[in-house]
Copies of this chain bind each other. A is one copy, B any other.
Amino acid sequence: MAKKSTLKIKPMDDRVVIKRLDAEEKTTGGIILPGAAQEKQLKAEVVAVGEGKLLDNGNRATPDVEVGDIVIVSKYGGTDIKVDDVEYTILRESDILAKSC
């Protein structure tokens, strides 16, 4: 069962909102990204998910991530926003490299 987002914004289309995790922190998925590797990609938690990509036939594809997923993203992707003094990043689902499982 997917968790419900507590964030007051909903990303459009196939966008998701993520919150970057402390790079030294060890997640339940056991992913650690120390040193130089940190400069290439980052762990983050998905906090809001859009309706999904608009297909050629007018339907939307089902997003492949859920609120609460821990994901690996490229450091330089997406747009940073600030909601209630907390920093988030909005990016497209296709910019997510992998999720922990």
Contact = CB atoms under 8 A, between A and B. Distances in A.
Given A53-B54, A56-B56, A64-B51, A9 B99 contact: yes
Instruction: State how many copies of this chain the complex holds.
Output: 7
Interface residues of A, number: 50
A99 B94 CA distance: 20
A98 B56 contact: no
A98 B8 CA distance: 10
A79 B40 contact: yes
Interface in A57-89: 57-62, 64-65, 72, 74, 79-85
7 cross-chain pairs, A with B, having the tightest CB-CB distances, nearest first: A10-B101, A37-B82, A9-B98, A11-B98, A56-B56, A8-B29, A90-B97
